[in-house]
Amino acid sequence: MDNEGVGLTEQAKQMAFRQQKIQEARKYLDKDYPIRKSGEELENLIAKKGIDKRILTESLGRQLIYNWSNKDDKKRTDISRESAVKILLLLKVDDLTEAEDFIMHSCGHDGFYARDYKDIIYMFCLRSANTAKEIGIEKMDALIKEYKYLDSPNPDVQETDTDEKARGITKMLFDRFEETENSEEGLKKFFDENKDNFGSFKRTAHKIFMEYFDHYRSSREVTPDEDIPDEQTGIVSLQKIVDSINKVTLTSRNRRSGRERESKEDYIPDKTKVKRAALELVQKVIAQDALIDRPKLGDIVNKKENVPRKYLILFFLAYSGGDKHMTLIEKLDNILYISGMPRLDSRNPFDWIVMHSLYHSDIRDTGAIDRLKKVAKEIFKIDEE
């Protein structure tokens, strides 16, 4: 849903490959980079549908719409996944492919997951748009509350089960849902007949992540009995990479005020500091994980938390091997796709530096994670530790 078709996306992609010097990459991101803004994507969708914007303001609130479309980069907020679904419902987008494209491509959220009961309800409500049984936002919220009992961890695959069977459950649910009668009775029957297969934990992403984590664990010679390292005990390598990229230095502000730079132990600002800091837009987007409570690595490993997209990408950069059949960018894109996550988007600044790092590691046969760390340090002016 680019403002000028595929032009801006392709342009940003080519610049990721063209910029060989890290300083040139920073200069491009600072001045000419066409960052994707979900508010602009929403305006494009409204124009495409030819629907009065007041329909959204009356249902979602004028302030929320204003925040999404705010011209001030420091005040503008992104569209949440739940809000994206409500927008699609109000705009009567009944094509699930188009709806998922807006959620993933325009707003940067994971796609529909058939084992998550809420996503089934989202798809059910969207599918009802433009029909006699059209469902509104209030009814959708009521259905989510009614079937909340289905929100449980996915059952682990039995030892006798195959990977094909595990992956097949998701496809089976999608297929059965497509055949389900578009009525509340049909939805209830669908949930009753498949109630043992629901749960929001995404095992495909976790399985891929664990393959990389095992490389990480073996590189540190962690014994089987050793506790899984978390943020309290300290992640020596990968956690620091995540922290470095999420790090928001207040160096320039400290210089102006004469204060000393924060100590290394306190180099990740808390939420209040991050929101106070005068971040450049590119920095803000790259560092967005610093604005939320990031899960502990141990919780991800122990299946208490889903694998965040950024973690999966960083572990891929650090531990994935080459493939003679595809480039590293193609390989990562495929992993994100089968994990239900948005593919790499050259107009997302974090994805851009990932694509830049993967491309240059491919043609130079060097480490992608090292290249990414150098770019991140240049963007944030991070001092060497």
Task: Tell me the per-residue pLDDT of 102-152, one tens digit each, with 9 for 90 and over.
Answer: 999 999 999 999 999 999 999 999 999 888 788 999 999 999 999 999 987
Q: Are residues 188 and 43 part of one domain?
A: no
Tell me, what's the pLDDT at 266? Answer: 35
Q: How many domains does the chain have?
A: 3
Q: Which domain holds residue 79?
A: 37-109
Domain contains 286: yes
Q: Are residues 362 and 229 part of one domain?
A: yes
Q: Are residues 127 and 163 part of one domain?
A: yes
Which of 109, 130, 153 is the last residue in one of the domains? 109
pLDDT at 248 over 80: no
Contacts of 106 by beta carbon, 8 Å cutoff, 6+ apart:
1, 36, 38, 41, 42, 45, 79, 84
Q: Are residues 250 and 372 part of one domain?
A: yes
**Residue in the block written with tokens 């497509």:** 178
Tell me, what's the pLDDT at 280? Answer: 56
Which structure tokens are listed for 7? 């032009």
Q: Are residues 159 and 96 part of one domain?
A: no
- Predicted confidence (pLDDT) per residue in 328-357, tens digit: 899 999 999 999 999 999 999 889 989 998
Q: Are residues 190 and 241 part of one domain?
A: no
Average pLDDT of the residues in 265-282: 41
159: three-class secondary structure by DSSP: coil
Q: Are residues 364 and 293 part of one domain?
A: yes
- Predicted confidence (pLDDT) per residue in 198-230, tens digit: 988 888 899 999 998 888 777 665 444 444 444
pLDDT-above-70 percentage for the chain: 71
Tell me, what's the pLDDT at 302? Answer: 84
Tell me, what's the pLDDT at 285? Answer: 66
Q: Is residue 248 within 8 Å of residue 287, measured between CB atoms? A: yes
Rank 216-225, 256-265, 268-277, 295-304 by mean pLDDT and report only the highest.
295-304
Domain contains 28: no
Tell me, what's the pLDDT at 32? Answer: 82
DSSP-assigned letters across all residues of 160-180? TS-HHHHHHHHHHHHHHHHTS
Domain contains 47: yes
H or E element: which one contains 275? Answer: helix 271-276
Q: Are residues 245 and 269 part of one domain?
A: yes
- Predicted confidence (pLDDT) per residue in 58-68, tens digit: 888 888 888 88
Number of Cβ atoms within 10 Å of the Cβ of 38: 23
Q: Are residues 88 and 229 part of one domain?
A: no
Q: Are residues 351 and 282 part of one domain?
A: yes
Domain contains 26: no
The overall average pLDDT reported for the chain is: 77
CA diameter of the chain = 67
Q: For residue 272, what pLDDT band results from cuts at 50, 70 and 90? A: very low
Residue 264 DSSP class: G
Domain contains 20: no
pLDDT: which is higher, 19 or 233: 19
The angle at the Cα of 250, spanning 247 to 252, to the nearest 5 degrees, equals: 130
For the entire predicted model, the pTM comes to 0.78
Domain contains 352: yes
CA distances from 212 to 159, 241, 343, 350 (A): 22, 15, 19, 20
Which structure tokens are listed for 216? 């990480």
Domain contains 184: yes
Domain contains 19: no
Q: For residue 72, what pLDDT band results from cuts at 50, 70 and 90? A: confident
Tell me, what's the pLDDT at 339? Answer: 93
227: three-class secondary structure by DSSP: coil
pLDDT: which is higher, 309 or 231: 309
Tell me, what's the pLDDT at 19? Answer: 79
Which of 87, 109, 131 is the last residue in one of the domains? 109
Contacts of 111 by beta carbon, 8 Å cutoff, 6+ apart:
100, 103, 104, 340, 341, 342
Which of 54, 82, 109 is the last residue in one of the domains? 109
Tell me, what's the pLDDT at 294? Answer: 60
Tell me the residue length of the chain. 385
Which structure tokens are listed for 303? 């299946």
Contacts of 104 by beta carbon, 8 Å cutoff, 6+ apart:
110, 111, 341, 342, 343
Contacts of 282 by beta carbon, 8 Å cutoff, 6+ apart:
29, 30, 33, 35, 349, 379
